[in-house]
Structure 1
């Protein structure tokens, strides 16, 4: 009888969920048709005849590359889209300048550097950039680093200037696991592959501290050098400013850190006055929507990946931002571009801390096949291209990184947290049976490794480390002995990686396009057409895929999401995911300094 009622009410729930989803589909389709009708009935938007000032708000949270969701109508432009839009605006006579709302608390270092490069290129075209900050309230220097090269830098007079340097915090779970009698077991190659330390230690090891301070100092030195040149302040004096933070707005003005004090409305009026009579503010999103995306130039494939690397297709939900690199999706996109006769080169943008070794190797293989097909492959590293993110980049013809990019982390780790001791504390008892070899229970989270299992798992990790280092040696044309010296799981900045031979050039997205043009055999001034692979889904295709989900699946997913929101479950699952299906993990958890 109980099963009958479960089935009965489950069926009712399924009908309700199906009806709601159907209504959502109808609403989207109607909205789409109305939007299409309205857009067809009205003239295309145009810029004001007396000139426009583009407004860019850096306070909005942004992806590095555009979302692949067909429903991402309201998302702010991605970083790559901002760079492309400003490049177009440089030669548009209708655009007089740019007005920027500064981020008050800091950006990822690589994102800050990409914005900084875009500002410099825009100013080099002869147009102005005016930035207003409602305070630099965070202690990180990155928000200021991004905009310090503006023509005019405004600060609200009641705000503060608090950039002091960079900081990084790591939450170590070793003491918590010990308190609950859990047994974290990890193998790592080698001492700098410190992601496992989060689970096994109660604080920094010497190697972990050394590597972290090294890349943070490199990023800080890059920021000091850039800001010093922008503001005409000696590096020594600038360090003194940061070391004595915080400062008042008046003090920041007196020291030459900003040019004017005032509210955002006054700074915006100054930008309009500089643009000339009749100029108007136009958001960068509105301007980008007016642009004609079509070009008749030679085609270069643009393949973008952001997030952890995993086997399969990655996150395909039409309502997510698609963060996560599915090895099937990226490898197939690379091979499709390689087989397309119209594609002259392949540009891959990577923003990833790494992930599955097997998935990374699949993408690595696809890049090798593309090169064999005669297509040059160029890697553009964003804020992070570490561990598995570096693995897949190694065979490319040319690699560019920001000076502040976190990369390298050539190493491998894997493990699990065994919870039998935790279960005993609350009276739970887990017992397993198996047939076949002893290794059948190696991935169990309810029992610790035997000595034989641990030795076997470590041997697997060693094989993966050997593969990784040999891939790097072959791809970068470096002696294996040299790779083994600079590997060991250590994270480097792009500036350090350049000195080590792990990357070819310090540069951003536009520089990577220039290199792609050159390796494709095109003239430096040649107009090129960036073609994104894979093709994006239409809203109708996305909904078709979505409606393959049953009501029972929807109910289960809702319950699982509620469970996964519990902090103790999230910590345990994160530890468990390091083991996954037994795949070696090429992952860096080096936090981006703030």
Structure 2
């Protein structure tokens, strides 16, 4: 009877709590819809017909491609869409220029390089670019690198100019695991495939340090060369300025790296004066929504985007704090859909990924090959990173472009587990494994270490995948296998280095990739084209309906998950778990983008 009443009242409490959570979620959704409606009402006002100055705020991070999350409407315009919007504005006679709020602390080198290229094209079209920074306070050169080609760079006179170079911090957990009795067991092909080092080592190995310093040095050299060209200073002088940081705003102006000193309001006033005094500022997000390009019946080039770790399946839509992912099913199905569409002349695949599942990477690789067999040229545009599995799926493409600062390569595989039996012992927890069948049935048990035969079998499995990976690169890039084996071994390269090695075909961004697709498809350079996303981008409401349906139970669960996922300890634990316990053999790079 006692248990009955406990169950009875527990059920009542559960219903009440669930109802409250449902109401809270409903309020959240209604508030979001109201906010969207207000924003929509605001943007319904027609754009001015003359002297618009676009506003672009780089102080917050941006995804490379639009989020698939139903909550993605809150995200700033993606890097891809910023590039496309600026390209459209180049021919818009109403747009006089752009006013940029600079990033103060640094960003991904690949993002900085893509934006710098878009700014250069915008200026070449006869539009002006004015940038204001409330300080370049971080030590990274990338925030300045993104805007160094502006017509005018303003700096608040009380701020500092501190770009000094690039830095990357790697956390090694080997000593921590040892202290708590955990045993990381990993196999990797080969010495430069250092993602496992985070768990097995307490510091840099010689190979890990060599590769990291090499790609960081390459990125730094690129940034110095491009900034020096933009600001008309010698590379040696610029290196000296960076290496002698920090500097005052006045010193930065003396060096020629800053044009004018003043507050943002003064920069805005000067920008409007430059537009003729009668202009108005228009947020780039608003412009992108309302200034849709004129329809044309030109040939179609498909744009398929993937960002984040590569996983099997569709990859759930990023929400509740989750990261964007590339689902093997989702991406390969869209590539095949574009290949089967008779109106599509070529396919551009945009990749921003450190890699992931070997199986899912191979699935996308196969789809790329099927598209080519169907007669559709496939062009890959690498963003900040297209490493390991991200490079695997790019290898068979007709043409591959990367930024000079893109991190790519990492041709190798790794996998393993962390044995926690010793850790359990220290807290009085006992986990025992029972099994039937062969010895390999317990290979992935977290409570017992590999036997010699299990390790050998696992390593043999990885060796087969490594052989497939390197052969696919050799075939796709038309390189001798012996050469691929020399430059593989899991090593990360920058796009500049990869070009010299034959791993990519050209240094360039998204617009260059579209131009390449046009050429491969035999489309006249002056003919208008249509760049069509596969799949078509969903509205927030469509994405929400796809994620949640209309079930009240699902809404209750979503509310609980949302609250749970916001806890910092839960987020940290999930990230560590996801990294250390990925099922299957991985084609993943943990090369950190320097900052």
TM-score (norm 1): 0.94
**Displacement of 1:518 after TM fit?**
1.3
**Displacement of 1:20 after TM fit?**
5.0
**Displacement of 1:9 after TM fit?**
3.0
Quick check: 1:131–1:147 contact (8 Å CA) kept in 2? yes
SS at match of 1:73: helix
Q: 1:213-232 CA deviation, whole Å, 9 max, x = no partner?
A: 00001000000110111111
**CA shift in 2, pair 1:417/1:133, >3 Å:** same
**Displacement of 1:93 after TM fit?**
0.6
Q: 1:433-491 CA deviation, whole Å, 9 max, x = no partner?
A: 11001111110111111111111111111111011101111111111111000000000
- Verify: 1:53 aligned to 2:53, yes or no: yes
What is the aligned partner in structure 2 of residue 480 from structure 1? 481
Q: 1:56-103 CA deviation, whole Å, 9 max, x = no partner?
A: 100022100011234433321000110011111111110101111000
**Displacement of 1:300 after TM fit?**
1.1
What is the aligned partner in structure 1 of residue 491 from structure 2? 490
- Verify: 1:272 aligned to 2:272, yes or no: yes
More moved, 525-534 vs 113-122: 525-534
Quick check: 1:47–1:94 contact (8 Å CA) kept in 2? no
Alpha-carbon distance in 2 for matches of 1:552, 1:134: 43
Quick check: 1:17–1:551 contact (8 Å CA) kept in 2? no
- Verify: 1:302 aligned to 2:303, yes or no: yes
SS at match of 1:565: helix
Alpha-carbon distance in 2 for matches of 1:29, 1:422: 47
Alpha-carbon distance in 2 for matches of 1:504, 1:545: 39
Q: How does 1:78-477 map to 2 (within 5 A)?
A: 78-293=78-293, 294-316=295-317, 323-477=324-478
Alpha-carbon distance in 2 for matches of 1:559, 1:166: 36
Alpha-carbon distance in 2 for matches of 1:127, 1:562: 43
Q: How does 1:37-76 map to 2 (within 5 A)?
A: 44-76=44-76
What is the aligned partner in structure 1 of residue 577 from structure 2? 573
**CA shift in 2, pair 1:284/1:563, >3 Å:** closer
**Displacement of 1:48 after TM fit?**
2.6
More moved, 290-299 vs 243-252: 290-299
Alpha-carbon distance in 1 for matches of 2:386, 2:542: 34
SS at match of 1:355: strand
Quick check: 1:380–1:509 contact (8 Å CA) kept in 2? yes
Alpha-carbon distance in 2 for matches of 1:461, 1:296: 49
**Displacement of 1:541 after TM fit?**
6.1
Q: 1:266-307 CA deviation, whole Å, 9 max, x = no partner?
A: 111111111103111111111111122544321111111000
**CA shift in 2, pair 1:585/1:466, >3 Å:** same
CA RMSD of aligned residues (A): 2.6
SS at match of 1:63: coil
Alpha-carbon distance in 1 for matches of 2:566, 2:125: 52
SS at match of 1:530: strand
Quick check: 2:137–2:160 contact (8 Å CA) kept in 1? yes
More moved, 63-72 vs 374-383: 63-72
**CA shift in 2, pair 1:179/1:346, >3 Å:** same
**Displacement of 1:426 after TM fit?**
1.7
SS at match of 2:158: coil
**Displacement of 1:501 after TM fit?**
0.5
**Displacement of 1:30 after TM fit?**
10
Alpha-carbon distance in 1 for matches of 2:328, 2:572: 30
**CA shift in 2, pair 1:494/1:563, >3 Å:** same
**CA shift in 2, pair 1:506/1:132, >3 Å:** same
**CA shift in 2, pair 1:14/1:481, >3 Å:** farther
More moved, 396-405 vs 297-306: 297-306
More moved, 4-13 vs 297-306: 4-13
**Displacement of 1:553 after TM fit?**
5.0
Quick check: 1:69–1:321 contact (8 Å CA) kept in 2? no
Q: Which runs of 5+ in 2 are unaligned?
A: none
Alpha-carbon distance in 2 for matches of 1:193, 1:67: 29
Quick check: 2:21–2:560 contact (8 Å CA) kept in 1? no
Alpha-carbon distance in 2 for matches of 1:263, 1:451: 67
Alpha-carbon distance in 2 for matches of 1:196, 1:545: 34
Quick check: 1:68–1:321 contact (8 Å CA) kept in 2? no
SS at match of 2:131: strand
**CA shift in 2, pair 1:570/1:564, >3 Å:** farther
Quick check: 2:111–2:384 contact (8 Å CA) kept in 1? yes
Quick check: 1:417–1:575 contact (8 Å CA) kept in 2? no
